[in-house]
């Protein structure tokens, strides 16, 4: 099972997530979030992981200028929650955020089902299962996941990957290494 540890604000947390087996790390930019970092900090965090860990720039911005700033960081993927259209071929993989009630999209490389947006609210299982079944692109599950519930969520929803932020934190933006490790182990052990 693929795992993204999101809301990383420190290089030390990114390195630990990578060592623990995370497939991707997410850094939040240009957003109203306690986990938001500057482009300079994002560059430092992205540089702290190796070439086999996907770096994801996560944003809720509506500004084309902000999006250009994100593109300049050369992330492996850009996770966006608004309907930006890229002129020509996107400069990175595009992950679009959908929440219950949103139509599924296929103008992207993956969807993340996330009505929580970092608040820790539990995902909508029915919507998530429908998304996995109906989407034409891989579906990533987020929202209220913790080391204690991620395995059951994976067995129930069968997503392509899982994404966690608040469920592995000491406080917003500061990851608990033991929770990160426990989350990845639980996710990886969920399916035979």
CATH number of the domain residue 61 falls in: 3.20.20.70
CB environment 140-172: b (16+ within 10 A), e (fewer): bbbbbbbbebbbebbeebebbbbbbbbbbbeee
Q: What is the pLDDT of residue 82?
A: 80
The mean-pLDDT minimum among 45-54, 97-106, 128-137, 182-191 falls in 97-106
Q: Average pLDDT of the chain?
A: 94
Instruction: Write out pLDDT tens, residues 132-153.
Output: 999 999 999 999 999 999 999 9
Q: Is the predicted pLDDT of residue 71 greater than 90, yes or no?
A: yes
Q: Which of 23-32, 110-119, 183-192 has the lowest mean pLDDT?
A: 110-119
The total number of structural domains in the chain stands at 1
Which range marks the domain in which residue 175 is found? Answer: 2-188
Averaged pLDDT, 161-185 = 97
Residue 65, pLDDT score: 92
pLDDT at position 116 is 72
Mean pLDDT on 101-121 = 86
The secondary element (H helix, E strand) that includes residue 5 is strand 2-5
For the segment 63-91, the average pLDDT, to the nearest whole number, is: 89
pLDDT at 118 (0 to 100): 63
CA gap 63, 134 in Å, rounded: 30
Q: Token pair for residue 62?
A: 């509506």
Q: For residue 110, which of 12, 23, 11, 9 has the smallest C-alpha distance?
A: 23
pLDDT given for residue 52 in this prediction: 97
pLDDT reported for residue 90: 86
């Amino acid at each position: 099972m693929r795992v993204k540890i999101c809301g990383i604000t420190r290089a030390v947390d990114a390195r630990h997530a990578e060592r623990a087996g995370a497939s991707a790390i997410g850094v939040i930019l240009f957003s109203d979030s306690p986990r938001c970092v500057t482009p300079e900090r994002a560059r430092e965090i992205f540089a702290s992981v190796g070439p086999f860990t996907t770096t994801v720039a996560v944003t809720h911005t509506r500004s084309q200028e902000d999006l250009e700033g994100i593109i300049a960081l050369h992330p492996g993927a850009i996770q966006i929650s608004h309907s930006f259209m890229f002129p020509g071929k996107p400069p990175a993989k595009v992950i679009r955020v959908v929440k219950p009630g949103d139509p599924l999209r296929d103008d992207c490389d993956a969807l993340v089902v996330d009505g929580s947006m970092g608040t820790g609210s539990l995902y909508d299982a029915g919507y998530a299962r429908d998304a996995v079944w109906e989407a034409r692109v891989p579906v990533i599950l987020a929202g209220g996941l913790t080391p204690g519930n991620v395995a059951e969520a994976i067995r129930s929803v069968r997503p392509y990957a899982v994404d966690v932020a608040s469920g592995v934190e000491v406080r917003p933006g500061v990851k608990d290494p033991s929770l990160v490790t426990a989350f990845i182990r639980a996710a990886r052990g969920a399916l035979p």
